[in-house]
Structure 1
Amino acid sequence: MRVGVPKEIKVQEHRVGLTPMAVREYVAHGHDVLVQTGAGAGIGAADATYLAAGGRIVDSADEVFAGAEMIVKVKEPQPGEWKKLRKGQILFTYLHLAPDPQQAHGLLESGCTAVAYETVTDERGGLPLLAPMSEVAGRLAVEAAAFSLRKTGGGKGLLLGGVPGVPPARVVVLGGGVVGTHAARMAAGLGCELTILDRSLPRLRQLDELFQGRVRTRYSSVATIEEELQAADVVIGAVLIPGASAPKLVTRAMLKLMRPRSVLVDVAIDQGGCFETSRPTTHDAPTYEVDDIIHYCVANMPGAVPATSSHALNHATLPFGLALAAKGEKALIDDVHLRRGLNVHRGRVTCEPVAKALKLPWVDAEDALGVL
């Protein structure tokens, strides 16, 4: 199969869909890889490195989209990109369609087969292609909070970890999944006073054992969230409903419970955000204020560390991408976990949470693909 790697065009997005290592693997499996010139510049991978890996360098995104049977990206296609997609072409990337009706309609009109990293599953019910970026984003969330708490970042002038004789910041993490766990590891490592809220008692038990009493775990409810907001210096939103819009756990009215210049970091912003007052921001202008509360809502947080992120992502996506390149749509028929990643197929929405969020008709992926 001919596989295409365009340069990412989202603001301050420096990751790349395929690293040179991954390109070499595709070529070793008999595939032809078209790489747009400069696609790997953000991770320090020159065109010559891709050539050495067996890829072919082309001058423009138009050439990539026109020549490839499968497009491998990192972020969701931008308007100029989804217009280049066509019927029968496979798109393999993060999509986050639930809060993005414009993109959804663009993909439906293109007729392409769009497979989303974030809804591919594994035999344990996990999300193996979302996990690496969730790990990165969880760790970055604490760094973002630390910067935003500084006076120079608009915050109240607190050092996140404190110093002897001066208490550390109080950090609340909403959600004990991959993002929340990695955020908690960073915050605990800095010595923060930390509370994790989740609705799964088994998960709270796991976290209690993992952190060996260094963090507080609480069952998440409206009452406990309100109580924690009153004492928090930082709240990290780390909730996820696969494929669906994130629930709004903190309303605008709740902001009045918080102390002025406290910080909200919404890692769920890709799925619409878990704070009512969240709206997507970029690395160029990462924060804004609502009711004297600092909001950090960058929609591609791992893009700030593209070298780490791209390699971690490629390690996870490579087996699935090779399967798609080898078998095309048959890979979706053969592998139920990869099939869970199918969000749009030839003009129809095939992911039920996306269809519900966007109020669009839904067809089961198995029916759409003709799985017996």
Structure 2
Amino acid sequence: MKIGCPTEIKPQEFRVGLTPNAAQEAIAAGHEVIIQAGAGVGAGFEDNDYETAGAKIMGTAEEIFAAADMIVKVKEPQPVERKMLREGQVLFTYLHLAPDPAQTKDLLASGCTAIAYETVTDNKGGLPLLAPMSEVAGRLAPQSGAWALQKANGGSGVLLGGVPGVRPANIAIIGGGVVGTAAARVAVGMGANVTVLDRSVPRLSYLDDVFMGRLTTQYSDKAAVADLLPRMDMVIGAVLIPGAAAPMLVSREQLSLLKPGSVLVDVAIDQGGCFETSKATTHQDPIYEVDGIIHYCVANMPGAVARTSTIALGNATMPFMLALANKGWRQACADDANLLNGLNVHAGQLTYDAVGKALGIDVLDPALAIKQ
């Protein structure tokens, strides 16, 4: 199989879909790897690193898309990239289709087979290709929020850890999964007063044990959130429904409950956001203000630490990428139900139920799609 990796073109996205190590593994398995010139520079990988691994360098994305049987990326294909996809081509990347009808429409029209990192599962019910980036985004959330809290950036001027004689910041983390746990680890380490909310009592029990009383756990419901908001300096939205649009946790009306200059960090923005006033931002222009409340809603937070993120993502995706290349996507998905769960689009039909429900589109059973 010919595996292609173009340069990411989403604003301020420095990650790359294939590391030189992953390229070397694919080549050792008998495949051809083609990399767009400069694709890895943002993550600290030079063209020569790929050439040493045995990959070929091509100058343009058009050449990559035209030649490759499978495209491996990081972020969802942008409009210009979606025009280059073709029938029978495999796309393996993050998609986040539920809040993105335009991308969904284009992928369906292309006839390609699109497998989404974020809906591939494991035998424990986890999301192994989303988890490493969730870890990164979770760890970034408190430090990004701390920056937004600075007065020069529009925040209330509260230091996360406080100083002797001055209380630390109060942070609420809504969602105790991978993102929430990672965010709590950093926020607690920075000295903040942290409350984690979740609807799973076993998960809250786990967090209570792991953090040994260094944070507060609380069952998440509308009343609990409303009660906490007036006391919070920062709220981190860390909820996830696999493949589906994120639930709305804080309404615009509730912004009035927060103190002026408080910060909302929406890590769920890739799935549409969990605050009513959220809208996607970039690393270049990461924050905005609504009703006196600062919002940080960068849609590709892990791109800020591109080298760490690229290596972590490559470690997770490589086995699946090799299975797709070695067996072909149909056989690979037939052999692995977890990989089959990643199938979102095939030959003009949607194959992931949560996306279909979010966008009102009929869905083909993925088990039938692999037989077409």
Specify the TM-score bucket, using the shorter chain as the normaliser: over 0.9
Q: Does 1:369 align with 2:370?
A: yes
Aligned residue in 2 for 1:352: 353
- The answer to whether the aligner puts 1:316 opposite 2:348 as a matched pair is no
| Structure 1 residues 247-258: aligned runs within 5 Å | 247-258=247-258
* Matching residue of 1:128: 128
Report the secondary structure of 1:256's partner residue.
helix
**Are 2:59 and 1:59 equivalent residues in the alignment?**
yes
Which segments of structure 1 move beyond 4 Å, counting only runs of 4 or more? none
- The answer to whether 1:241 aligns with 2:253 is no
Corresponding residue of 2:75:
75
* Cα distance in 1 for residues equivalent to 2:185 and 2:153: 23
User: Aligned partner of 1:11: which letter?
Assistant: P
Measure, in 1, the Cα distance between the counterparts of 2:137 and 2:11.
17
Are 1:171 and 2:168 an aligned pair? Answer: no
Deviation (angstroms), 1:36: 0.2
SS in 1 for 2:197: strand
Gapped regions of structure 2 (runs ≥ 5):
none
Distance in 1, Cα, partners of 2:133 & 2:102 = 24
**Aligned Cα root-mean-square deviation (Å):** 0.7
Aligned residues: 371
1:9-48 alignment, distance < 5 Å:
9-48=9-48
Aligned residue for 1:225? Answer: 225
Query: One-letter code of the match for 2:353?
Result: E
Per-residue displacement from partner, 1:242-283 (whole Å, max 9, x unpaired)? 000000010011111000000000000000000000000001
TM-score (norm 1): 0.99
In the other structure, the counterpart of 1:259 is 259
Distance 1:141 1:267 in 2: 7
Letter in 2 for 1:345: H
How far, CA to CA, are the matches of 1:155 and 1:256 in structure 2? 15
Residue of structure 2 equivalent to 1:284: 284
- TM-score normalised to structure 2 length: 0.99
Deviation at 1:370, TM superposition (A): 2.4
Distance 1:172 1:111 in 2: 43
Identity of aligned residues (%): 62
Partner of residue 200, structure 2: 200
Cα distance in 2 between the residues matched to 1:82 and 1:362: 21
Distance 1:238 1:195 in 2: 13
**Cα distance, 1:155 vs. partner?**
0.5
Structure 1 Cα separation of the partners of residues 16 and 279 of structure 2? 25
Distance in 2 separating the partners of 1:104 and 1:151:
40
| Residue deviations 1:29-48 (CA, integer Å, cap 9, x gap) | 11100000000010111111
Aligned equivalents of 1:188 and 1:291: distance in 2?
28
Unpaired segments ≥5 residues, structure 1:
none
- Say whether 1:336 aligns with 2:320: no
| Offset, 1:328 | 1.4
